[in-house]
Chain A
Amino acid sequence: MSAITLVEAVTQALAYELKHDKNVVLMGEDVGVNGGVFRATAGLQEKFGSDRVMDTPLAESMIAGVGIGMATQGMRPVCEIQFMGFIYPCVDQIINHAARLRNRTRGRLTCPMVIRAPFGGGIHAPEHHSESTEAIFAHMPGVRVVIPSSPARAYGLLLAAIRDPDPVIFLEPKRIYRLVKQEVPDDGKALPLDTCFVLREGTDITLITWGAMTHETMQVAEQLAHDGISAEVIDVATIKPLDTDSILQSVAKTGRCVIIHEAARTCGVGAEIAAQISEKALDRLHAPVLRVTGYDTVMPYYKQEDIFMPSVQRIRDSVDVALAY
């Protein structure tokens, strides 16, 4: 077994489900012959045919709406939106239909669909190709929002997302699509949704993050270890619904917490996590919960995107504030 990248793990999971569940179909722009602009569906149309891996007309709302229609009849569409910056036409379909279908029919119809989209900055992409707006979806009752941060978690969580009986927004951190390689057995084993992953155990401070930011956060944890400070790193993975228990357990142990996300600060998922901690673990805190995030600005064009992105230095500085409090 050779080591694979995160994006290859996505392909591996898609291929596994296409092979094992005849109701699974992939649709999106350029997912067919071209294999996706990030190669996430490379080779799949050749292997499974154009009825299972479909190039669609260039209309994102259509991709979501058609997927919903298919899902109402028991199919399991996996829709690719080429970049998160183009997902907004789908928001109507997701909020008004995908998220509500089970509830408004009292379970008569359901919507087992996945919408995949690469997201986040740091690859020097053109305008509209670098945003992190996961909080928009996390706010919507009725969907799940899942973000992997490693090849193994991309494989296991995507399998879980496709098998989940409800709609899942599956956001892929494209900056780390090819950053690391890992051996990922193609055993069809899903990882649990609605569950945080502890990437590193520690006792002095809890660092909570997801997606590409796990990379910088782990670097900070390494630095801290050198300085004799034991940091626990939590990859939230499913940002909706939040695994609040795991977060609270960690914060109760360490008494200090820094939340790191690439998305803009106001009403970001970090705000929800901080609120949960303040409601349920205030008496365990030795310091205020701090956030290191993108700013409340439009995502800058790539020459200035580094200013926006939380850096190792910015994370470390906030950790030092929390530790010194």
Chain B
Amino acid sequence: MNNNKKSVASFEIFYYEYLNEKGELIGELPGALQNNPELWQKFYRYLVLNRIYDETAIKLQRTGQLGTYPPTQGQEAIGVGMGMAMHEDDIFVPYYREPGTHLTRGVKMEELYTFWGGDERGNNFTKGTRDLPDCIPIGTQSLHGAGIAMAMKLRKEKRAVVVSIGDGGTSQGNFYEAINFAGVHQLPLIFVINNNHWAISVPTELQTHAQTFAQKGIAAGVPGEQIDGNDIFAVYHHVRQAIDAAHQGKGPYIIEAITYRMGDHTTADDASRYRPGNELDENKDKDPIKRLRTFMAAQNLWNEAKEKALYAEVKAEVDAAVQKYLSNTAAPATDIFDYMYDTWPESYHEQRDEVIAYHGGEA
């Protein structure tokens, strides 16, 4: 026996799944999910809505009607499950591949198209929420989440923040700084790490040598766990559980949700350049939408007719959003100045006047 050493810390990371890739339940469904077909069908509707929104965005981009767009195919269960697990007055701090969360939280679909269509007005969520808009600089949103959670704590509010971040994002200093700060102050902050296995073309084994992304919190004293991110039951239940614990003052939490990015990084990318041969096909079998449909069909809750009706309804909803997006009136040219500061500085007026001279607008 060696008396010079003793164990001073250890950790364990648990993995959870409830609905496997074949659409079969593994054990019992937890909590509010049990015998809740209404909720399951709501999940399903949002998953389908997310997917058709996404496919439509790609089509719009390919036909020159939308800018560069990051597809979400394959990872809808994370976005939708996370959004539905949140309470209305929690705050969402996204990276840039979570339309499902925005939609479940009441952001209008046409606003999402407007944002990816190169128009800042898309971030002016008319619902009036203080959720943050999509964050493009990788990982930087982590700190905003920590700041918002700090504001909630200082104001003694029973609210929480959910930050979403990709696997690549967890390599950023800002991520570590945020979980460190959240640990120190035991903030009501939940990180959902969307591990889709790729950061553009860089695979997870080149991001970290850690066995899991969930354990990245351990060094900051922030507990975490891993879930099947294609199992919406797991996402919903574990995110809700972490939020409710945060509301009770139990501090921050990390959930690594494992999924797979079935599409390209963006419409400007071609994943076939770097994705190994049959990886995509293997992951198609894990599709989050397919497995929920299989499960509901086995429960006699779903059939071909319901599927057809839902798709028709959702397509009509997406089409209506596209029409609203495409009929956006042009923003006034002076908008580029008018939201820079509360009041455009006096000494810069000639710049604004110049734009009016070239493009029109009100002085």
- Genuine A/B complex: yes
Shortest B7–chain A CB gap in Å is 26
Q: Contacts of B358 on A, CB cut-off 8 Å?
A: none
Whether the Cβ atoms of A97 and B342 lie closer than 8 Å is no
Q: Is the CB of A73 within 8 A of B148?
A: yes
Interface residue from B152, B178, B345 paired with A241 (Cβ < 8 Å):
B345
Residues A106 and B347 in contact, CB atoms below 8 Å apart = no
Interface 1/0s, chain B 339-356, versus A by CB < 8 A? 111100111100000000
> What distance in Å separates the Cβ of B338 from its nearest Cβ neighbour in chain A?
9
A70 & B132 in contact (Cβ 8 Å cutoff) = no
- Docked Cα-Cα span, A62 to B136, in Å, equals 18
- Please tell me if A204 contacts chain B, counting CB pairs below 8 Å: no
Q: Judge if B75 is at the interface, Cβ distance under 8 Å.
A: no
Q: Quick check: which of A51-59, A173-181, A300-308 contacts chain B, the rest being far away?
A: A51-59
Q: Shortest beta-carbon distance, A75 to chain B, in Å? A: 5
Given contacts A61-B174, A65-B140, A72-B130, contact A241 B147 (CB under 8 A): no
State whether B150 touches A59 (Cβ < 8 A): no
Interface assignment of A157: CB less than 8 Å from any CB of chain B = no
Cα A69 to Cα B154 with chains together (Å): 13
Q: CB of B200 within 8 A of chain A?
A: no
Inter-chain contacts of A97 with B (CB < 8 A)? 137, 140, 144
Q: Which of A212-220, A242-250, A309-317 contacts B (4 or more CB under 8 A)?
A: A242-250
Establish whether residues B148 and A92, one from each chain, have CB atoms under 8 Å apart when the complex forms: no
Kindly state whether residue A237 has any CB partner on chain B within 8 Å: no
A216 to chain B, nearest CB (A): 26
Q: How far is the CA of A213 from the CA of B140 in the complex (A)?
A: 36
Closest to B341 in A: A166
CB of A47 within 8 Å of the partner chain: no
Chain B residues near A165 (CB-CB < 8 A): 341-342
Q: Which residue of chain A has its CB nearest to the CB of B339?
A: A103
Task: Verify if A102 is at the interface (C-beta below 8 Å from B).
Answer: yes
How many of chain A's residues have a CB under 8 angstroms from any CB in B? 45
The answer to whether A108 touches B181 (Cβ under 8 A) is no
Query: Cβ of A194: which chain B residues have Cβ within 8 Å of it?
Result: 345-347
Residues in chain A near residue B133, CB distance under 8 A? 104-105, 109
B142 proximal to A (CB < 8 A) = yes
A138 at the interface (CB under 8 A from B): no
B120 CB–A CB distance under 8 Å: yes
B151 within 8 A of A: yes
Contact mask for chain A residues 155-169; partner B; CB cutoff 8 A; 1 contact, 0 none:
000000000111000
Nearest-neighbor residue (CB-CB) of B187 within chain A: A66
Min distance, Cβ B119 to any Cβ of chain A, angstroms: 9
In chain A between 27 and 48, which residues have their CB closer than 8 angstroms to a CB of chain B? none
- Which stretch (B121-129, B206-214, B254-262, B321-329) binds chain A? B121-129
Task: Give the Cβ gap from B93 to chain A, nearest Cβ, in Å.
Answer: 8
| CB contact list, B166-182 vs A, under 8 A | 173-174, 177-178, 180-181
* CB of B162 to closest CB in A, whole Å: 13
**When chains A and B are docked, how far (Å) is the Cα of A67 from the Cα of B150?**
9
Report the minimum CB–CB distance from B340 to chain A (whole Å). 5
Q: Is the pair A65, B123 in contact by a Cβ cutoff of 8 Å? A: no
Cross-chain contact B124 with A66 (CB below 8 angstroms): no
Indicate if the CB atoms of B147 and A107 lie closer than 8 Å.
no
**Residue A251 at the B interface, CB < 8 A?**
no
Q: Once the chains are docked, how many angstroms separate the CA of A243 from the CA of B346?
A: 8
Task: Kindly list chain B residues whose C-beta atoms are within 8 Å of the C-beta of A57.
Answer: 177, 180-181, 184
CA distance A3 to B143 in the complex (A): 40
Q: How far is the CB of A236 from chain B (nearest CB, A)?
A: 12
Say if the beta carbon of B77 comes within 8 Å of chain A.
Answer: no
Please give, as numbers and ranges, the residues of chain B lying within 8 Å of A62 by CB-CB distance: 143, 146, 174, 177-178, 180-181
Minimum distance in angstroms from A55 CB to a CB of chain B? 10
**Residues A105 and B124 in contact in the complex (CB < 8 Å), given A67-B147, A70-B150:** yes
Docked complex Cα distance between A69 and B93 (Å): 10
Contact B347–A245 (Cβ < 8 Å): yes
> Roughly how many angstroms separate A51 CA and B128 CA in the complex, as a whole number?
28
Partner of B150, one of A64, A66, A89, A142: A66
Mask: chain B, 258-286; 1 = CB below 8 Å from A; 0 = not: 00000000000000000000000000000
Instruction: Please report the C-alpha to C-alpha distance between residue A245 and residue B347 in the assembled complex, in whole angstroms.
Output: 7
Task: Please judge, given known A-B contacts A72-B130, A73-B151, A104-B123, whether A59 and B180 are in contact too, CB under 8 Å.
Answer: yes
Contact between chains at B347 and A96 (CB < 8 Å) = no
Q: Does chain B have a CB within 8 A of A141?
A: yes
A260 within 8 Å of B by Cβ?
Answer: no
**Assuming A61-B174, A66-B143, is B340 touching A141 (CB within 8 A)?**
yes
Contact A241 B347 (CB under 8 A): yes
A130 at interface, CB cutoff 8 A:
no
- Cβ of A71 under 8 Å from chain B: yes
Q: Which of B145, B173, B339, B342 has the most CB of A within 10 A?
A: B339
Q: Is the CB–CB distance between A69 and B146 below 8 Å?
A: yes
Measured between beta carbons, the chain A residues less than 8 angstroms from B123 are 104-106, 108
A69 and B340 form a contact (CB under 8 A)? no
Minimum distance in angstroms from A88 CB to a CB of chain B: 13
Within 8 A of A (CB), among B98-156: 120-121, 123-125, 128, 130, 132-133, 137, 140, 142-152, 154
Inter-chain pairs besides A69-B147, A93-B174, A97-B137, 6 sampled, C-beta below 8 Å: A56-B181, A59-B177, A62-B178, A65-B142, A165-B341, A241-B345
Can you offer 18 A-B residue contacts whose CB atoms are under 8 A?
A51-B154, A59-B177, A61-B174, A62-B180, A62-B181, A66-B144, A66-B146, A72-B144, A73-B152, A92-B137, A96-B140, A103-B120, A103-B339, A104-B120, A109-B133, A142-B340, A194-B345, A241-B345
A-B interface, 8 closest residue pairs, ranked by CB to CB distance from nearest: A69-B147, A65-B143, A241-B345, A69-B144, A62-B177, A66-B147, A106-B124, A165-B342
Binding site for A on B (CB under 8 A): 91, 93, 120-121, 123-125, 128, 130, 132-133, 137, 140, 142-152, 154, 173-174, 177-178, 180-181, 184, 335, 339-342, 345-348
Residues of chain A at the chain B interface (Cβ within 8 Å): 25, 51, 56-57, 59, 61-62, 64-75, 77, 89, 92-93, 96-97, 102-110, 141-142, 164-166, 194, 241-245
